[in-house]
Structure 1
């Protein structure tokens, strides 16, 4: 299973991807909705905590990332669904592309939480031994 991979580099990559996706999304899409911008700010801060927690093996920082990513990621999913419903597009293929990007973002939120949680669990098991 893919969760059996080495989670330390995966956590750092996930944090960097979160910062990258957030920067891209806030630069071109969030100008019309302040709520999405406000939801990305805690994700940026928690991504820094995730990098520090993964490199220094601090489980509480990984837990902060898991909680923030699930709460803010869920809020962003709700915001994206609302934008998909209420924003009028000119062509049908743009709606299809936006829907596909939203599904990819939904999977990204799951991955954001899964790998750091698995790494946090691995660190706690190592501390028990």
Structure 2
């Protein structure tokens, strides 16, 4: 699959992409949280803080993914796979809730397109976050039994 791509290098690349996207998302959410009136919009801010916490967990486990891919440690790869699955699904659900609350207020076509494209992007990103480290973990497991 994937034109005989080296799963080790793809796993390292996915870790770097996770750190980069995590920094972008944390920066965006924190700038959103800094410009908000905390007394009136407290409920939605909790959802945004939860998204920041999930991205921090993903960034820490992305560091473990990079380290695990470099030293060929299957346990570190498994930590990344589980963290990316759990946090990824939670982030997709959080994004759906956060975007849905904005749709009820504005109902712009541009926001609908943004919501759809970002949701598809996140689903594809989580798939890649899981696929390459899992394939590399399977390669390491097969090497161990040979």
With normalisation by structure 1, the TM-score equals: 0.93
Give the Cα–Cα distance (whole angstroms) in 1 for the partners of residues 54 and 3 of structure 2: 27
For residue 69 of structure 1, the aligned residue among 67, 84, 93 is 84
Distance 1:22 1:89, change over 3 A: farther
Give the deviation of 1:3 after TM superposition: 7.4
Aligned residue for 1:126?
A: 143
Which stretch shows the higher mean deviation, 30-39 or 111-120? 30-39
The Cα of 1:19 is off from its aligned counterpart by 0.5
**What CA RMSD, in Å, does the superposition of the two structures yield over aligned residues?**
1.5
Runs of 4+ with >4 A deviation: none
Partner of 2:39: none
Q: How many residues align?
A: 129
Q: Which residue of 2 aligns with 1:97?
A: 114
Q: Is 1:12–1:51's contact at 8 Å kept on the other side of the alignment?
A: yes
1:2 is paired with a residue whose SS is coil
Secondary structure, aligned partner of 2:26: helix
For structure 2, list consecutive stretches of 5 or more residues without a partner in the other structure.
Answer: 34-44
Secondary structure of 2:69 counterpart: helix
Aligned partners of 2:116, 2:70: CA distance in 1, in Å?
35
Unmatched tracts of structure 1, length 5 or more: none
CA distance in 2, matches of 1:22, 1:37: 9
TM-score normalised by structure 2 residue count: 0.83
Distance 1:50 1:57, change over 3 A: same
CA distance in 1, matches of 2:92, 2:70: 29
